[in-house]
Amino acid sequence: MGLWDDLNAEYLDEMIGSVLESYADEVMNAVNQTTDQAAKELRSAIAKDAPVETGKQKRSWKITKERKGLENMAIVHSTDYRKVHLLENGHLTRDGVTRTKALNYVGKNADKVLSEFPDRIAEAVRAVS
């Protein structure tokens, strides 16, 4: 191969690399947006189904985002996690004999959003051109 072929090969390598890098950035942005949107939907669904005695339980749900390299996480959690555990699973009452009814308002919403999540990610990646 001559010098001209070497230059064309280097140019081709650079062009392919830049196109793939651009595509990877667009895919990561689409995945991050889909993750953030799913987390917001989960937070609002849990807050909607939360028990309303004082409204404190509805307002306690937050989203914490953690991004480490390629890993993107959105953690939906309550600031009043002890109460959430008792409401979600039920607990003994003061008399020590009867139990309260488990509400399962977190689990059912999490199952719904998480079951749809892989399809939403796949759709977002397909939409990247």
Q: Tens digits of per-residue pLDDT, 1-14?
A: 555 566 677 888 88
Task: Determine the pLDDT at residue 74.
Answer: 93
Q: Which residue has the higher pLDDT, 26 or 13?
A: 26
- 75 band by pLDDT with thresholds 50, 70 and 90: very high
Helix (H) or strand (E) run with residue 14 in it: helix 3-49
- CA 29 to CA 93: how far, in whole Å? 48
Amino acid, single-letter form, for residue 53:
E
What single-letter amino acid sits at 95? Answer: D
Across 70-81, average pLDDT: 89
Q: What is the domain partition of the chain in residue ranges?
A: 3-127
CB 105 within 8 A of CB 88: yes
Query: pTM (2 decimals)?
Result: 0.81
d(CA 76, CA 91): 23
Are residues 43 and 57 in contact, defined by beta-carbon separation less than 8 angstroms?
A: no
Q: Is 129 helix (H, G, I), strand (E, B) or coil?
A: coil
Mean pLDDT computed over every residue of the chain: 89
- Residue-wise pLDDT tens digits, 39-61: 999 999 999 998 887 778 889 99
Averaged over 28-42, what is the pLDDT? 94
Other Cβ atoms closer than 10 A to 38:
18
Among 52-56, 82-86, 121-125, the least confident range? 52-56
